[in-house]
């Protein structure tokens, strides 16, 4: 079997091993593949593994030996699934590998906003505490999470993990979810979308990106939120209308935002959220802990092994 990894650098920048994949066939790993390089590199491949390299119907038409596409992520919108299905190409994804890591990033952002540890550490390194007349100082609001209302949009694996952490912090948790109230764990209350935005002290986005959720957080929904509220997005960048969010932050109609995703990645230099007031961005790294990437690599290999054995799993092209 000829196996080509089109863009393996993000999942494995060198701290993990592809050895298990090499045992399944003749395997070549590329750090990145441009659209212009794709056909030349993929010609003759039985299996392609991709993270963000797009595979279209036109590509598949030029790759007659292709039988398997393994997406090195949970989301699989980089592959034309309908075209793969028509050609009998199995497409697999890797669900739930980063649940704990992404939920952890939600609270990394939230604690950064409420406690500003990095700010004070930098100030102290500059000598501010040693020059202080008192035993302590602070120049930002310090906010306790206990008793605050956490609104979670989407109660899949990551939304549920986030809810559990919020409950451990003593937060009140409400959620917009399709799950029936009778099926929710104790402490999580279902809530209509607009009421969630209106009443929550923190809103955390965990819903999939669909036609219905594109631009979910827009000027109208931001207008519902408390001026003291915090928005966290570790889900998908296009859930948020970025111009509307930047305006709300800059006009102090929203206290802060913590974002691990943007609508275009890497972002344009003129993205308004990069310079918006109290907007803190990380470069889409919630999934990238060594533990999560280790699970990703293991499942990627197991997906291909199961396909070779004739019992494909995680097949999103069925």
Token code pair at residue 305: 């092994």
d(CA 111, CA 29): 38
Q: What is the largest CA-CA distance in the chain?
A: 74
CB of 114 within 8 A of CB of 91? no
Q: Are 63 and 43 in contact (CB under 8 A)?
A: yes
Structure tokens at 58: 């036109």
Q: Is 284 a catalytic residue?
A: yes
Task: Name the token pair of 111.
Answer: 């604690």
Whole-angstrom Cα distance, residue 104 to residue 287? 10
* DSSP string for residues in 151-219: EEE--SHHHHHHHHHHHHTT-EEEEE-SS-GGGSPTTEEE--HHHHHHH-SEEEE-----TTTTT-B-H
Beta strands across the sheet bearing 256-259: 188-190, 172-176, 149-153, 202-205, 230-233, 256-259, 279-281
Cβ–Cβ under 8 Å, residues 289 and 261? no
| Residue in 30, 221, 236, 293 annotated catalytic | 236
The answer to whether the CB of 197 falls within 8 A of the CB of 189 is no
Selecting among 22, 112, 277, 284, the annotated active-site residue is: 284
Q: Are 19 and 60 in contact (CB under 8 A)?
A: no
Active site residue 236: yes
Q: Which of 119, 265, 268, 291 is catalytic?
A: 265
Residues noted as catalytic: 236, 265, 284
């Amino acid at each position: 079997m000829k196996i080509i990894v089109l863009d393996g650098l993000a999942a494995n920048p060198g701290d993990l091993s592809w050895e298990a994949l090499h045992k399944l066939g003749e395997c070549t790993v590329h750090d990145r593949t441009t659209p212009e390089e794709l056909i030349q590199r993929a010609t003759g491949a039985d299996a392609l593994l991709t993270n963000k390299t797009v595979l279209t119907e036109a590509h598949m038409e030029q790759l007659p030996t292709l039988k398997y596409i393994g997406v090195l992520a949970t989301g699989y919108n980089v592959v034309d699934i309908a075209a793969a299905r028509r050609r009998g190409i199995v497409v697999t994804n890797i669900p739930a590998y980063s649940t704990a890591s992404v939920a952890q990033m939600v609270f990394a952002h939230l604690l950064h906003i409420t406690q500003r540890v990095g700010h004070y550490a930098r100030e102290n390194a500059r000598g501010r505490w040693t020059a202080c007349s008192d035993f302590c100082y602070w120049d930002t609001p310090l906010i306790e999470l206990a008793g605050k209302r956490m609104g979670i949009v989407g109660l899949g694996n990551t939304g549920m993990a986030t809810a559990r952490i919020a409950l451990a912090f003593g937060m009140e948790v409400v959620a917009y979810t399709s799950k029936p109230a009778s099926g929710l764990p104790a402490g999580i209350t279902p809530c209509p979308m607009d009421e969630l935005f209106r009443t929550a002290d923190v809103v955390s986005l965990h819903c999939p990106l669909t036609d219905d959720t594109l631009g979910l957080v827009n000027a109208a929904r931001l207008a519902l939120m408390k001026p003291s509220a915090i928005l966290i997005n570790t889900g998908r960048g296009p859930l948020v209308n970025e111009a509307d969010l930047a305006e709300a932050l800059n006009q102090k109609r929203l206290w802060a935002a913590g974002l691990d995703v943007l609508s275009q990645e890497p972002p344009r230099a003129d993205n308004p959220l990069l310079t918006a007031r109290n907007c803190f961005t990380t470069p889409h790294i919630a999934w990238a802990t060594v533990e999560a990437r280790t699970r990703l690599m293991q499942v990627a290999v197991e997906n291909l092994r199961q396909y070779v054995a004739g019992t494909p799993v995680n097949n999103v092209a069925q």
